[in-house]
Chains A and B, each alone.
Chain A
Amino acid sequence: MRGGLTRQEIAKRAAQELREGMYVNLGMGIPTLVTRCIPTGLTVFLQSEHGILGLGPPPPPGQEDPDFADASRMPVTVIPGASLFSSAESFAMIRGRHLDMTILGAFQVSARGDLANWMVPERGVGSIGGAMDLVYGARRVVVTMEHVTKDGNPRIVERCSYPLTGRECVDLIVTDLAVIEVGNDGLVLKEVAPGETPQEVQAKTGAKLALSPELREIRV
C-alpha cells in the first residue's frame, strides 16, 4: 500500500516512544492525537502547560466543565492521582528538565535538529506558547509532522528558513513517510512507511539521510 501514514498512524508511531511512568507534554495538532494511542496498561502522566499533571480523556457529552480545558481549549478531565498547579510551577517543571519527553508539531526541522514551529513568516505574526521552553526543557523532543508541505516541498531541510523555536533540540522525527533520528553526525533513517523506499524518502527530504543498519518498515 502506498500514500504513507495517516495523521492517526503518525500519532500511533510516536506513542511507541512512550514508556511506563513517563511524564510527557503533548503539543497541538498531531501530538494531541497521541492521547488516544497510549497502549492499554501503560501509565503515562500527561502534562498540560497551564497547570495539569495527569490529563485525562475528554468528558462525556453534557459533562464538560469550563474550568477544565486543554491547551487547545477543548474540554478535558483529569485522571485519579492528578495534580493542579499554576503556570509558573508548570514551567519550572518544564524548564527544570523534569519532563521525560515532549511531542511537538513542526513546520521545519533541520539536519542538526533545529526546530521551527511557531511562525509562518508570510502571516506576519506567530504564537510561541510553551514550545520554546519545552524544546530545551524536556529530556527528549519528538517531532510529528507531514514529511512535505502541501506544495510538496521538504519540511526536513539543511537549514530552517522559518524562525527557530530552538537550536539543535530535536531527537526524533516521525512523519507520514519515515522515522528519522537526529544523530551527532546528522540524520539517520530508521524506519520507512509501508510501500516507501529509502530512495523515495531521500528524494522528499532536503537534507542527507544516513541509513540505519537496522532500517525497517514502520509498524503501527
Chain B
Amino acid sequence: MVNKCYPSATAAVGDIGDGATIMFGGFGFCGIPDRLIEALARRGVKNLTGISNNCGLGGRGVDILVRNRQIRKMVATFPAQRERTPFEEQYLAGQVELELVPQGTFAERIRAGGAGVGGFYTRTGVGTPLAEGKERRVIAGEEYVLEFPLRADFALIHAYRGDPYGNLIYRGTARNFGPEMATAADVTIAEVEELVEVGELNPEAVITPGIYVDRIVAVGRAP
C-alpha cells in the first residue's frame, strides 16, 4: 500500500544536502513548516537557496537557518521588516544574496514552475527597477515584462490535515503558498498537524492532491 508517511521531521529531511534550493511555505507567522525547518537546522547543511515570502523573523522559520548561516541566497518578496532582522544585517554586509520579487509574480512563477509553464508576461513591475533587463512586450496596447518559472529541489510546507497518500487540506491564512509550492519541487515534504486514514478527507475539500506530495510527517498542533 502506498504510504508516504515518515516517522519524524528529521527523517523527512534526511537527504537534503549542501547547496540545495528549497521552497519554504508561510506568510508572516502563518503556515511556517516549523518542525521541518528545525530539523534542517539540526542537520546543519549549508549554502542553501531559499524561496520564501519572508526571510524569517523572531527566531522562527527561515530566521533559524539565517542565524545558523545556512543560507547563501533568498528569493523573497518581503525581506525587510519594520524591525531589523538577521537576514537584513547579513544582506547589507554582503554575506547573503537576495532576489527580490513582487508577491504576485512570486506566486505565479511558482505556479508556472509546477504547471510546466515556461514563462509568462505580466504588467507587474513595469516602469520600476525590477523590470530592468527583462524582456518587454506590448500586448493589447499595454506593456508587460517576461517572468520565468521558479522550481526547487525540495518544498517544505505546513498543512492542517493530511493522509498517507499525501492529500492535504489547510487552515485559515496558513494555506498561502503551500498549494503552489507543493507542485514546484522535485521532492515535496509536508508536515501536518493531524494525519488521518486514507478516505477520511472529503475529496471535494482536498486542496493539494496527493500526486504533488512525496513525504508527509505528523507534527501535531503547535502549543
Contacts and interface: CB of A to CB of B under 8 A. Distances in A.
Interface of A: 48-52, 65-69, 71-73, 84-88, 90-92, 94-95, 114, 123-133, 136-137, 163-168
Contacts of B78: 127-129
A130 B103 contact: yes
- For the residues of B in contact with A, the DSSP-based class is mixed
B127 interface: yes
B214 to A, nearest CB: 19
B111 interface: yes
A163 B128 contact: yes
A133 B102 contact: yes
Given A50-B27, A69-B28, A132-B124, 14 more contacts: A50-B28, A66-B29, A73-B29, A86-B177, A87-B103, A87-B176, A88-B108, A91-B104, A114-B127, A124-B91, A127-B80, A127-B81, A130-B103, A132-B128
A95 B129 contact: no
Interface residues of B, number: 48
A130 B125 CA distance: 11
Interface of B: 27-31, 53, 77-81, 88, 91-92, 98, 100-108, 110-111, 122-130, 160, 171-180, 207, 222
A87 B126 CA distance: 21
A45 to B, nearest CB: 16
Given A69-B173, A73-B28, A132 B80 contact: no
A128 B110 contact: no
Given A69-B29, A91-B108, A132 B176 contact: no
